[in-house]
A and B are shown apart, each in its own frame.
Chain A
Amino acid sequence: MYDIDGVLPVDAVTSVQPGTNLLVVGAPMVGKHELALELLTKGFDDGDGVLCVTTNDSVAGLTDSLSQRGASFDPDRIGIVSCSGQESSGGPSDVATEFVSSPNDLTGISIGTVKILKSFSNRNISSIRHGILSVSTLQQYLDTRTVFKFLHIYTSRVRDTDGLGIFTLHSSTRDSEVVNTLSSEFDGVIELRETADDVREVRLTGVPAAPRTWCTY
């Protein structure tokens, strides 16, 4: 089981089954990235590995964000596939890193994740939390069809390897159909929103024991 106790404001949800894929959806700036990082780093206490595919952040920046969460942060248990195309080397030397030239190189991304998983398994780290940050950027480089196909394969990979998959996606009313289509590939969806009076709320769908109502976050 993957411990996520206390990350979400829902007492009933303290852990998720191995092989689960969750999509974090919400408007830009509503805090999806931060929530995804919380879900990923919660596993440090249990010795889980964290494998991030980042399309935006630099390796150093992402490592920094990860290290600020979770008291038992350990660079040896982080792997990053950087595909922003902004950098091709560098980052902290103790973090396993693979560079891919562009977010549209899906084969390169998948090979990068395989290499990092290999380095985890060589060190007997078998529970892996995957972060795909973000699906929205993949969508800027690829058509929705291709992103959908990739998500089908990647979520199946997470399922078949008993991992935990955390994916982030921007939403707006304009593209609710696309969000709905992509959501179908996930076991659960975590929606984030901000009310008119600046209250942040979260709603879980497809997560066992979760209420289907908006909760203050």
Chain B
Amino acid sequence: MTQPQSRPVVLVVEDELDVADSYELWLADEYEIHRAETGEAALSKLDDFAVDVVLLDRMLPGMSGDEVLQEIRERDHACRVAMVSAIQPGIDVVELGFDGYVTKPPTREELRETIERLLARSTLDEELQEYYSLVARRSALESEFSDEELVRKADYRTLVERIETHRESIDASIPDLASDTEFVGAVREIDALSSPDDEHDGTELE
């Protein structure tokens, strides 16, 4: 995975100022932090600049966290959204389309881990795309050449190694698919109907 040139942008949506202060204090070293106290303010910031991860408090004055999320999805913003809530979330978090959640009050480590997981997931579709292209290329070679011919081909051996490396890197970006939110979040990334990113154009090696 390539490191982004600038720091990832995190939008903290939280109406309790001291809570938002501590998040900012914890995270400002690693991320560019922006803050919003209401859902309306958060949406207007999302219209103004690109945000990688939104930490969204569920209990907001005015628009609720759930409504803000719905609006973010409808406006097709390319950001991942983690819900922050004092209530242990149930299946509804998955259904509503949150990419992750943090239970309140979070520790610094929990916030960082959640942000990192969502950042890693934002490249999942691209990585799977590349991995698919390599596997498809291997299948094409395997249908064209016999096993004896293939073992002598250097580019085939290189391809097999690259496939292995890619697979390991992908599995590292989705480390815990036993988690329901991780699993649905990963599928949402590759689902053209609901992916936060624009559709990729075909880069298949046929």
Assess A148 versus B132: contact at CB under 8 Å? Given A107-B193, A157-B183: yes
Question: Considering the complex, which residues of chain B in the window 156-185 have a beta carbon less than 8 Å from any beta carbon of chain A?
Answer: 170-171, 174, 176-178, 180, 183-184
Provide the bound-state CA to CA distance between A176 and B139, in Å.
Answer: 9
Docked-complex contact B91 and A118, CB < 8 angstroms: yes
What class of interface size applies to chain B in its complex with A? 20 to 34
CB-defined contacts of A107 to chain B, threshold 8 Å: 184, 187-188, 191, 193-194
In the complex, chain A residues whose CB is within 8 Å of the CB of B192: 104, 142, 146
Does the CB pair A111–B184 fall under 8 Å? yes
B185 → A minimal CB distance (Å): 9
Please name the residue on chain B nearest to A154 by beta carbon.
Answer: B187
B114 at the binding interface (Cβ < 8 Å):
no
Question: When chains A and B are docked, how far (Å) is the Cα of A17 from the Cα of B129?
Answer: 29
Contacts of B95 on A, CB cut-off 8 Å? 111
- Cross-chain contact of B128 among A114, A152, A159 (Cβ < 8 A): A152
Contact pattern, A 91-129, Cβ under 8 Å of B = 1, otherwise 0: 000000000000011110111001101100000000000
Instruction: Assess A114 versus B94: contact at CB under 8 Å? Given A152-B128, A156-B171.
Output: yes
**Nearest chain B CB to A13's CB is how many angstroms away?**
25
- CB of B142 within 8 A of chain A? yes
Q: Does A149 contact B (CB under 8 A)?
A: yes
B135 at the interface (CB under 8 A from A): yes
For A178, what are the chain B residues with a Cβ–Cβ distance below 8 Å? 139
A148-196 interface (Cβ within 8 A of B) = 148-150, 152-154, 156-157, 159-161, 176-178, 180-181, 184
Are A161 and B139 within 8 A (Cβ)? no
In A49-79, which residues have CB < 8 Å from any B CB? none
Contact of B43 with A by CB under 8 A: no
Which chain B residue has the least Cβ–Cβ distance from A106?
Answer: B191
Interface readout for B127-150 with A: 1 if CB under 8 Å, 0 if not?
A: 011011001101110110000000
Give B122 Cβ to nearest chain A Cβ, in Å.
15
Contact present for B204 and A177 (CB under 8 Å): no
CB distance from A153 to the nearest CB of B (A): 5
In angstroms, how far is the closest chain A Cβ from the Cβ of B28?
33
Majority SS at the chain A contact face: helix
Q: Check B177 against A177 for contact (C-beta < 8 Å).
A: no
| Selected contact of A114 from candidates B174, B180, B188, CB within 8 Å | B180
Chain A contacts for B180, CB-based, 8 A: 114, 117-118
A115 to B184, CA, bound (A): 11
- B186 interface residue per 8 A CB criterion: yes
User: Given A156-B174, A161-B178, are A145 and B204 also a contact pair (CB < 8 Å)?
Assistant: yes
Chain A residues whose C-beta falls within 8 Å of the C-beta of B194 in the assembled complex: 107
Q: Which residues of A contact B (CB under 8 A)?
A: 104-107, 109-111, 114-115, 117-118, 142, 144-146, 148-150, 152-154, 156-157, 159-161, 176-178, 180-181, 184
4 nearest A-B pairs in the assembled complex, by CB-CB distance: A180-B139, A110-B187, A149-B190, A160-B177
Which positions in B face A, CB cutoff 8 Å? 91, 94-95, 125, 128-129, 131-132, 135-136, 138-140, 142-143, 170-171, 174, 176-178, 180, 183-184, 186-188, 190-194, 202, 204
Complex A-B: 28 CB contacts under 8 Å: A106-B187, A107-B187, A107-B193, A109-B187, A110-B183, A111-B184, A114-B184, A118-B91, A146-B191, A149-B125, A149-B128, A149-B129, A150-B190, A152-B170, A153-B187, A153-B190, A156-B174, A157-B178, A159-B177, A160-B176, A160-B177, A176-B143, A177-B136, A177-B139, A177-B140, A178-B139, A181-B135, A184-B135
